[in-house]
Amino acid sequence: MIEEQQKPAALQANAAVKSFGRGRGRHQVLFDVNVEVWPGECLGIIGASGSGKSTLTRIMFGLEQPDSGDVLFNGVSILGASGRAQLRSLRAASGIVYQNPFASLDPRWTAGRSIAEPLRLAGERDERGIGGQVSRAMELVGLEPSEFMGRYPMDMSGGQAQRVAIARAVVKDPQVMLADEAMSAIDVAARMQILDAFAAIRERDPNMAMVLVSHDLGVVQNIADRIVVMHEGRVVESGPSAQILEQPQQEYTRLLIAAASL
């Protein structure tokens, strides 16, 4: 539908360039990268470690600045002085999950307190309302609230702790979500529960744009609608997941398929 096509991407990187270091140590990490994710879409970004996935997605989510190029959130740039308000909107509308849940959760806080934190930071004061939202977020990721509300990270498995981190990321119903290697530190058996949690989140929020980053194609292939393959700072291939898996155009993609777990 024409109307659908006129909606802007949820997030879009246009010709993103990024280097780190100075002088002879300078080293370019992204070369004119164009990537977008649409409302309601789950985008998988795969590639070997060091290929630039984290740098690209940190730039897309406003956590880092590109050297040149642009980043748009709902069609409006988040960069520069004129992008400040849009960057704030993006920060308020994004949920982010990282690789190691024990590093991202405060060991002194119960799961309930960690999950409630984004609501409190956003100024919510209605404790019953907060409690209800926290319980719903726990249920969404398959954690029984009566069992986990008062539990500390040290009394959880990696998979349980990661689901707490995911519940915290989605408790405010983000419009855009980033999970960067969220399953890489989780044992294979527990990865399925994490995948189920992402599937449940997509079902609850059908307009959310989700970006799943992994060095392992296996962990994104069943949930991503579309896959972008990165290699040494460039997008080497992208397309619907089935097409990437069944008709990879690049030798590099074939290697990633052969190495996939799950």
- Binding stretches for ligand ADP (CB under 6 A): 20, 29, 47, 49-55
Residue with the two structure tokens 């449940």:
200
Nearest to ligand ADP of 57, 221 (CB atom): 57
In DSSP terms, 176 is beta-bridged to 94, 209
* Residue pair 167/138 in contact by the 8 Å Cβ criterion: yes
First to last CA, the chain: 36
What is the edge-to-edge ordering of all strands in the sheet holding 68-73? 27-37, 11-20, 68-73, 76-77
| Beta-carbon contacts of residue 162 (< 8 Å; ≥ 6 apart) | 97, 101, 182, 183, 185, 186, 190, 194
Given Mg ion, ligand ADP, none, residue 241, with its beta carbon under 5 to 8 Å by kind, binds none
Nearest to Mg ion of 51, 160 (CB atom): 51
Distances (CA, A) of 94 to 73, 81, 121, 192, 202: 11, 20, 14, 24, 14
Nearest to Mg ion of 54, 221 (CB atom): 54
Sign of the C-alpha dihedral computed for residues 3, 241, 9 and 40 taken in this order = positive
Using the contact rule CB under 5 A, the part of the chain among 12-20, 48-56, 200-208, 222-230 near Mg ion is 48-56
Given ligand ADP, Mg ion, none, residue 29, with its beta carbon under 5 to 8 Å by kind, binds ligand ADP
Nearest to ligand ADP of 34, 82 (CB atom): 34
Nearest to Mg ion of 54, 241 (CB atom): 54
Given Mg ion, ligand ADP, none, residue 8, with its beta carbon under 5 to 8 Å by kind, binds none
* Residue pair 38/104 in contact by the 8 Å Cβ criterion: no
Which listed residue (11, 12, 30, 54) binds Mg ion by CB under 5 A? 54
Given Mg ion, ligand ADP, none, residue 118, with its beta carbon under 5 to 8 Å by kind, binds none
What is the CB-side half-sphere exposure of residue 207 using CA atoms within 13 A? 10
Q: Provide, rounded to whole angstroms, the least separation between the CB of residue 138 and ligand ADP.
A: 29
Q: Provide, rounded to whole angstroms, the least separation between the CB of residue 20 and ligand ADP.
A: 3
Q: Provide, rounded to whole angstroms, the least separation between the CB of residue 97 and ligand ADP.
A: 14
Nearest to ligand ADP of 65, 243 (CB atom): 65
Alpha-carbon dihedral angle through residues 141, 147, 151, 153, given to the nearest 10 degrees? -40
Q: Provide, rounded to whole angstroms, the least separation between the CB of residue 48 and ligand ADP.
A: 7
Binding site for Mg ion (CB under 5 A): 54
